[in-house]
Structure 1
Amino acid sequence: MTTKTYPVTWDLDTFFEGGSSSDELRRHLDEAAGLVQDYSAQTAGFRTPESKTDAAQVAELIDKTKETSNHLREAGAVIGCFLAQDTTDKQALLLQGESSALGAKFQTAFMSFQQKLAKTEETVWNELLSDDRLKDFAFILGEWREKSAARLSEAEEALITALSVDGYHGWGELYDLLVGEIEVTVTVDGEERKLSVGQANNLSSHPDADVRRESFEKLEAAWAEKEEFFAKTLNSIAGFRLQVYEKRGWDNVLREPLEYNRMKQETLDAMWGAISANKEPFARYLDRKARLLGKEKLDWQDVDAPVTESVKTIDYQEGAEFILDHFGKFGPELESFSRMAFENGWIEAEDRPNKRPGGFCTGMPQSEESRIFMTYSGSMSNVATLAHELGHAFHSYALRPVHPLNRMYAMNVAETASTFAEMIVADAAVKEAQTDEEKLALLEDKIQRSVAFFMNIHARFLFETRFYEERKKGIVSSDRLNELMEEAQREAFAGALGETHPHFWASKLHFYITGVPFYNFPYTFGYLFSLSIYAKALEEGEAFEEKYMALLRDTAVMPVEELAEKHLGEDITKQEFWEKGVRLCIRDVEEFLALTDQEG
């Protein structure tokens, strides 16, 4: 029985009281402008180090980088929250433009600092890194040096950054605006409801097949109606990106995402190789699910459909307590941190119109707090999503003792922490099932995540790599985008789909995120990587939490291959590592197939 009531909307006034019209926020942005101006002047006056005595100047600029960056990111994160909670907030949209422009100016100055450092003579460089003020930044400074060496001149990179505000990033912001205006009317439980994209997407797990189909068809029609706008937006983002790559002399479109995720091509190839070699059990699961739903083939809108008659609805308060209970069994730090997040209004979960679709966790570096965004409608999948985002927030919490410059972890390891938290909850739900029917529903919900990471994400990766190759030759039409998407889905789902989702390229925000290229494969990396961590946690119990937090603190100061070797003793460039994780997921499929055999 739930005894505590947690807020279902987040508290943003703790940062800037008054929402997007906040006087405090206005002052903060004005201060940010001053900091950026000062920082730009300092970096302009900075000269490439010539001896160890220049370490003091480098250390001073590192502190200034931290201060200015944190100030900007605090504002940007809160403004992003304003827009997520209300896509009609026009003032927040204006502030986002102002924040982006300041960010671009800072980035230009920051790149100038990086490029001047990169020109340091090797002997002097090694002397600098031996200085007590700089030795803790050896990895990140070395990374800056390598990246700068692979880029254009300071002036050219500054021009790219300046033009990207209204070009590259402007197209990404246009996508958010277009999606925010979409509403569909769907009949749910006999009542016509006007829904945002996020609310309509939640109906993919509705028990009524007619509701799922109507929601899917209405959304598909909405994407089709605006497909030329989305095609123009996607082509423009990709075109900008490819032009930059060409000028830098980069042929491989995966160079930047691999660099960003601090991983090797061999690691990515080994991961997809392990998954591609083991699709058959998951295809059998999808075929069995189709039969349970009375269909020959599973259509796209039925992939997340429940397979049992009675689907348990979990209200937000129950979901919160379930998460806290099982986080507590893993370790006290994760449980106490998450309880604080629930109690202090760090989570926006209310099911209402005008919210953006999807879920996220964002960090406020100055306040050292996080905020979690989602639309909670009572499914076990929603509970898992909530646990997932709390995992992200806990990652930031674990890094609090670390200097902000050494907290800049990549997306793939970010998804490790979130997926690990999600796994704790999903596994517990299956083990605590009271009946075979309930166990089947929860087991199926767990398998759906494997399908998402091994098939849905794989389809996104296949689509995006092929789209970029075609985009190199010119504009890719909306019809061709639909074809590429369908081909990728049929291949990634190993022929187990009936009707596909041709406009998925238009509907998925991740294709339009300009800050992080190829916003797909890191999810699958995080899922499989976290399985190895979870296996160790099961072996060691609560004693593992301290080791887990040590791993999280290392996520921003070494490549993922070194991280895995240090904390797991594994070589992740080999397919065998990834196959161990895939086999754990296949066990869930085998249990599902056995249970459904018993059900006849």
Structure 2
Amino acid sequence: MQKHKYIQNWDLNSIFKTSGELAEHIACTENMIDSLEAEMDSANIEDPFETKKLLDSLGDIRIHLSQAASFTTCLIAQNPKDPDALSLQGKAAALNGFYDKSEKLVQSKMITLTNEAWEQLLSSKELDDYGFLLNQWRKKAKWQLSEKEEKLFADLSIDGYHAWAQFYQTLMSSIKISIPLDGTENVMSVGQAINLRSHPDRFVRKMAHDALESALEEKEELFAKILNHIAGFRLEMYKRQGIEDVLEIPLYENRITKNTLNAMWSSVTKYKAVFTEYLDHKAKLFGSEKLQSYDFWAPVNSAYQDISFDEAADFIIEHFGAFGTEIQSFARNAFENGWTEAEERSGKGSYAFCAGFPLSGESRIFLTYGGRITNVLTLAHELGHAFHNHALKPVHGLNRYYPLSLAETASTFSELAILNAAYEKTDNREDKRFILDEKLKRSVMNFMNIHARFLFEERFYKERKRGYVPANRLNRLMQEAMDEAYMGSIDSPSFRSWIWTPHFYLTRSPFYNFPYTFGYLFSQSIYAAAKTKGPNFEKSYITLLRDSGKMAVEELVMKYLSEDITKSGFWEKGLQLCARDAEEFLTLGSQI
């Protein structure tokens, strides 16, 4: 038996040895919430010392809740049928509901202060570290429900809103897809079937695509129910809060303005033509007039196939070192100490993620590693999230929670670092074509696929306000969004991708799509700065990540890159870098 250098199964025992230990942690957290509620009854919110004490308690509780939620997520991902994990996840979710209620009660106390009392409170040195957060809460005041309504929605969300999201995860994990490979019938998870999108054999890719579509079609009405109920709950809550534009909350939570979002999408649309040329060229490589969706992730040649997990880990460790010793040693520690669950097997969860454990100061990474460059990049992506968690270790609890737009920046930067390292390392033309193709797949995903998801979700919520949206209509909405976003350059896309895209089912916030494009383009600018700064980059990068939880994004970018992201000029710089990749790929292709 071949001996592996790095373990492909994560170590969870170092966090909680048994489910009983986790149950004790959850009970302890419940007691912390009870104590906080008692504190709130007598607290004088105008006293900065008492306010700081409340905020510190909220931060501590949030860290404990994150620890429990991450652990149950990991347990269910490795075994979706684990009854103990499902039970504990329910208890942790219930506590989240109680925490949300406590946080909103603290906020409601603060928003009753007069402007004079508010300014006096913020000017105290005790609350220096909480200034941005408190002002965010003050802005949120216009959405505050009555105490009775807040309690009603908090209680209903536990067995309603959040329960639908948990049911989605369970249902998706239960789907089995039968695909014949090498003369043997293979029963695969959705994640394994999706991995076959990058298989070198076109017949296998098409077979996996068709089998996945068929399996999802059988259950599409169930998934339509889940999506409609999550959206329906959200819209009812927004209606009572006086929110008409469903984008208002996602923009607030991502700490960007609509001007920034519009500048980004308009710039992306302006640069799409060169990426449609790339897609048309790739279609011809596979003998088609228009690129079939199951050929999109296919390799253009046989370079970089069958990469072992050990090789992937060593490559990432080596090339993270170009950006600093801390990020390199962090990656090495993650691989050597069992932070990654990468084994390819059936019965696992269907999508990759990074789970942060803020109380332990660690992270865990989950994926199904299939030995292809796409898996290497997923690994680097999730390590980027983990490094972001690592950078925030010295930061207080409430300031550790950064917006999704910046969450996708650190992860995408890590992907870009590995792709560019591979490109710079080779002089072989075929290797260069392969790497450029991988880079361009990510550009197309962010400029076209993510745009399609954004358009789909925007239109879905518009229709959901008028009533239930059935599965056949959801398929049509996705088809129309893809045709528009891809400018008609993709044939037979997966119109049921609204089912296997887990971000549509998150209860934290809708529109978990545009942050990816934001992070992708922002990471281009960070990477350019890293190449310019050299050894001084890492310190600045870590400081940027630490500030990500306590600063508006427009302010953060201005502070570290001196750029105004409400203007198209910033976005076009990143798009020009990506367009050069397309032009170079087309030039290399014309030389064959």
- Same fold per TM (> 0.5)? yes
Deviations 1:267-314 (CA, angstroms, capped at 9, x unpaired): 000000011111111111011001001111112111111111455221
Report the number of matched residues: 591
CA–CA separation in structure 2 for the residues paired with 1:181 and 1:15: 27
Q: Is the 8 A contact 1:118 1:149 kept in 2?
A: no
Aligned to 1:545: 538
Question: What is the rounded CA distance, in whole Å, between the counterparts of 1:33 and 1:396 in structure 2?
Answer: 24
Task: Report the Cα distance in structure 2 between the residues aligned to 1:172 and 1:3, rounded to whole angstroms.
Answer: 39
* C-alpha deviation, 1:541, in angstroms: 1.3
After superposition, residues 405-420 of structure 1 pair within 5 angstroms as: 405-420=398-413
In structure 2, how many angstroms separate the alpha carbons of the residues matched to 1:275 and 1:228? Answer: 34
Which SS does the other structure have where 1:252 is aligned?
coil
- How many angstroms apart in 2 are the aligned matches of 1:519 and 1:500? 20
Contact 2:70/2:357 (8 A) holds in 1: yes
SS at match of 1:291: helix
Q: Distance in 1 between matches of 2:273 and 2:55?
A: 51
Among residues 26, 32, 35, which one is paired with 1:35 in the alignment? 32
Root-mean-square deviation over aligned CA pairs:
1.5
Greater shift, 91-100 or 123-132, is seen at 123-132
Q: Give, in angstroms, the shift of residue 389 of structure 1.
A: 0.9
Alignment of 1:11-160 (within 5 A): 11-18=11-18, 22-49=19-46, 54-160=47-153
Contact 1:238 1:471 in 2 (8 A): yes
What letter matches 1:23 in structure 2? G
Distance 1:4 1:188, change over 3 A: closer
Quick one: distance in 2 between partners of 1:80 and 1:462?
Answer: 29
Q: For residues 89 and 164 of structure 2, what CA distance do their matches in structure 1 show? A: 13
Q: Output the CA distance in 1 between the equivalents of 2:584 and 2:3.
A: 35
Name the CA distance, whole Å, in 2 between partners of 1:330 and 1:227.
Answer: 45
What is the CA deviation profile of residues 80-119 of structure 1, one whole-angstrom value per residue up to 9, with x for unaligned ones? Answer: 1101111121221111111111111121111101110111
What is aligned with 1:10?
Answer: 10
Q: Distance in 1 between matches of 2:60 and 2:538?
A: 31
Counterpart check, 1:507 vs 2:500: yes
Correspondence list, 1:364-513, <5 A: 364-513=357-506
- Name 2:158's counterpart in structure 1: 165
The aligned amino acid for 1:526 is: G
In the other structure, the counterpart of 2:525 is 532
CA contact (8 A) 1:111 1:158 kept: no
- Structure 1 gaps of 5+ residues are none
Distance across 1 between alignment mates of 2:438 and 2:505: 28
2:291 aligned counterpart, secondary structure: coil
User: Aligned letter for 1:42?
Assistant: E
The separation in 1 between residues aligned to 2:56 and 2:391, in whole angstroms, is 21
- The answer to whether the 8 Å contact 2:308/2:371 transfers is yes
Deviation of 1:446 after TM superposition, in Å, equals 1.1
Deviations, residues 390-437 of structure 1 (Å, cap 9, x unaligned): 111111111222222211101101111111111100111122235222
Cα distance in 1 for partners of 2:144, 2:502 equals 28
Cα distance, 1:44 vs structure 2:
3.6
CA-CA distance at 1:45 after TM superposition: 3.6
Match of 2:200 in 1: 207
CA distance in 1, matches of 2:184, 2:200: 16
Aligned to 1:295: 288
What SS does the corresponding residue of 1:133 show, helix, strand or coil?
helix
Contact 2:60/2:397 (8 A) holds in 1: no
Match of 1:188 among 181, 186, 204: 181
State the identity as a percent.
Answer: 48
AA aligned opposite 2:522: F
- Partners of 1:155 and 1:569 lie apart in 2 by 45
Normalization by structure 2: what TM-score?
A: 0.98
Q: TM-score, normalised by structure 1?
A: 0.96
Secondary structure of residue in 2 paired with 1:134: helix
For residues 194 and 5 of structure 2, the distance between their equivalents in structure 1, rounded to whole angstroms, comes to 27
C-alpha distance in 2, partners of 1:436/1:188? 32
CA distance in 2, matches of 1:44, 1:518: 36
What are the superposed Cα offsets for residues 454-484 of structure 1, whole Å, 9 maximum, x if unpaired? 1111110000001110111111111111110
Cα distance between partner residues in 2 of 1:151 and 1:455: 36
